[in-house]
Structure 1
Amino acid sequence: MIEAIFCYLFNDKLFLSKHKHLNEDYWASKACGKKLLFNNIRRISNKYNIKISRLFHEDWKHFIIIRNPIERFLSGFTHLCVVDMDSNFSLRICYYCEGNMECVIKNLYETLKVYSFNGTETLFHIKHHFFPQTWLCHYDKNKKHYIKVDYESKDKEKFYSQLINIFRSQNVPNNKLEYVRWELNHSKSFHSTNGTTTLEKQKEILFSNPNLLKLLSIIYYDDFIEFGYKFPIENI
């Protein structure tokens, strides 16, 4: 719901004219469309006519949401490759593996190898959902400017508080902060798999297969090291 939050913060009248709740704003129903979406810093610079160096001035705050790599993979895999398995959209993202986790992980590993060697482009949603987080958001170049906000499905209140504190530090009005806080605590993203039996089943499949755990540990090695998450197995 991050996109919905920013749409509301930038133009609450527009957002509330189309939606009552944050979780109603997704895909084709996005109130702000793609107006607030940028795939690199330069496009933000051009949009707001601000030099890139000024974008990292104290008036601007940049934060990235990080998540345990295994939890993140399981969430994306369960939603896209199991729950939504039969849609044409998900079939492409999941390498036409028809819900087979081993198939997806091995194909992802090959995709990342090719990408790391020559930068071959791949589907946006494969990158967005499955690439290492340290490979996204120009992290290697700009990490010193980023505030890391850790998302834990078992401690969402901590995550919500971090977001609210960032918004408050940027002088977001209290009434908007209260709306966002209430929505975060009472609305659930339509594609959330947290707490479902489907997610638990996929977790069991993964943790019963040391080879898959090792391959995921290799795939997300940089994330584990950079963000201090514990590897799921020893002797990587």
Structure 2
Amino acid sequence: MNLKFFFKFYYFLSFLLLILTVFFLLNNGLLVKKNNRQPEKIIIYNEVGKEKSTVSLLNNFYNGLNEYRYTKKYKILSCFVHKNMCTVMSELLCLLDYPKLYGNDTKITDKSYTNRTCKKVNERNTIDFIHEPNTKPKTKNPWIYLMIIRNPIDRFISGFLDRCDNDRIDTSDPQMCYGCNRSLSCAINKIYQRMSALFFDKYPLKKNPDDYHFLPQTWRCNLGEQFNLFTFLNYSQPSTFYPSLARSLLKNNVENEVVDRILNDLQFSRTYHATVRSEKRKKVTNALYNDPDLMGLLIGIYYHDFVTFNFTIPNFNYRIV
């Protein structure tokens, strides 16, 4: 009887000790549930320096938005990021594996996403393909991981003009631009609400095409675990972007004449929905930079894109806390 009582008392003390240990760790911030910590905030001030509004910053990496394009022949893969030259990169890598599909008059900038040449051929949602048999490699080098990055504000504006203020589509369609019908304020608020819900799991969120156009770049391709594998090519800096792309291709034995063709297509032709010099772009840019509240929301969404990829955060009256 005494021995039985002893074991009961021992298990009770062990359980009590476990409860106290967990309580201590939680109370001292040493045990934190993933994606449930208090995020940083941006405080926005008015013209006289008085606090105007506060925006929580979305956290950094999120795994689950993984799309890749690749060439097995040259062992190069690219993280597919909407509005970051994604369709062109799909065509570029398709050209490397299937050059006969591209005549002399065909440019890698000619295609749209819906009629891309290698649709469902060089496209995966995991990188398992790097372990598959490769019968005709042109290189013995390791796989090269590429990701095109872009200034977050430029990328947002490009996405907005494509999904929300595009004369070629019916912008009143509730399936376009979150149903915002060209409204910049509505679109930014919807993006912030949906991204917050997705990251913090407040409710199940079925991702739609708008989400993919506006999700942060740091949420792509499992960067939280594989960041160091990637070479990042800055699309917002043409003076470094083109040489960096060429070096990456040449490193895995892409022929000089093919690289020259690619660079020529990229630098001297534009995709059908390029917005870089449009009047609409100027209008949206001015609207953003003249509205601190909207800009504050954008920084709340893309703060870690700015910090992770060394882009300059727009200068206005705010403080990160």
Q: Distance in 2 between matches of 1:91 and 1:4?
A: 30
Q: 2:102 aligns to what?
A: 15
- Is the contact made by 2:172 and 2:181 (CA closer than 8 Å) also made in structure 1? no
Select the residue among 112, 117, 125 that pairs with 1:26.
Answer: 112
Q: 2:56 aligns to what?
A: none
Task: Flag structure 2 segments of 5+ consecutive residues without an equivalent.
Answer: 1-87, 135-139
Structure 1 residues 1-236: aligned runs within 5 Å = 1-16=88-103, 20-42=106-128, 44-45=129-130, 48-49=132-133, 59-84=142-167, 86-87=169-170, 91-118=174-201, 120-152=204-236, 155-232=237-314, 233=316, 234-236=318-320
Task: Flag structure 1 segments of 5+ consecutive residues without an equivalent.
Answer: 51-56
Q: How big is the shift at 1:25?
A: 2.1
Higher-RCO chain (CA-CA 8 Å, sequence separation at least 6): 2
Higher helix share: 1
TM-score by length of 2: 0.65
Q: Counterpart amino acid of 1:109?
A: Y
Q: Percent identity?
A: 27
Q: Counterpart amino acid of 2:124?
A: F
- Is the contact made by 1:23 and 1:187 (CA closer than 8 Å) also made in structure 2? yes
**Structure with greater Cα Rg:** 2
- Is the contact made by 1:73 and 1:130 (CA closer than 8 Å) also made in structure 2? yes
Q: Distance in 2 between matches of 1:89 and 1:20?
A: 34
Q: How big is the shift at 1:74?
A: 0.9
Displaced runs of 4+ in structure 1, greater than 6 A?
none
Q: How big is the shift at 1:66?
A: 1.0
Q: How big is the shift at 1:8?
A: 0.7
1:12-39 per-position Cα deviation (integer Å, ceiling 9, x unaligned): 102339x611122223432222211122
CA pair 184-85 structure 1, distance change in 2 beyond 3 A: closer
1:84-126 per-position Cα deviation (integer Å, ceiling 9, x unaligned): 4743797524111011011011111111111112284443533
CA pair 127-162 structure 1, distance change in 2 beyond 3 A: farther
Q: How big is the shift at 1:169?
A: 0.5
1:172-206 per-position Cα deviation (integer Å, ceiling 9, x unaligned): 01121111011111110111100111100011111
Q: How big is the shift at 1:127?
A: 3.6
Q: Counterpart amino acid of 2:298?
A: L
TM-score by length of 1: 0.86
- Is the contact made by 1:81 and 1:90 (CA closer than 8 Å) also made in structure 2? no
Query: What is the root-mean-square deviation of aligned Cα atoms in Å?
Result: 2.4
Q: Distance in 1 between matches of 2:305 and 2:226?
A: 15
Q: Counterpart amino acid of 2:100?
A: K
CA pair 87-16 structure 1, distance change in 2 beyond 3 A: farther
Higher strand share: 2
Q: How big is the shift at 1:157?
A: 3.9
Q: Distance in 1 between matches of 2:291 and 2:99?
A: 47
- Any idea what SS the aligned residue of 1:148 has? strand
CA pair 33-90 structure 1, distance change in 2 beyond 3 A: farther
Q: Distance in 1 between matches of 2:248 and 2:127?
A: 20
Q: Distance in 1 between matches of 2:169 and 2:194?
A: 22
CA pair 45-178 structure 1, distance change in 2 beyond 3 A: closer
- Is the contact made by 1:85 and 1:98 (CA closer than 8 Å) also made in structure 2? no
Q: Counterpart amino acid of 1:27?
A: Y
1:35-84 per-position Cα deviation (integer Å, ceiling 9, x unaligned): 11122223x347x358xxxxxx9510101111111111011111221024
- Any idea what SS the aligned residue of 2:178 has? coil
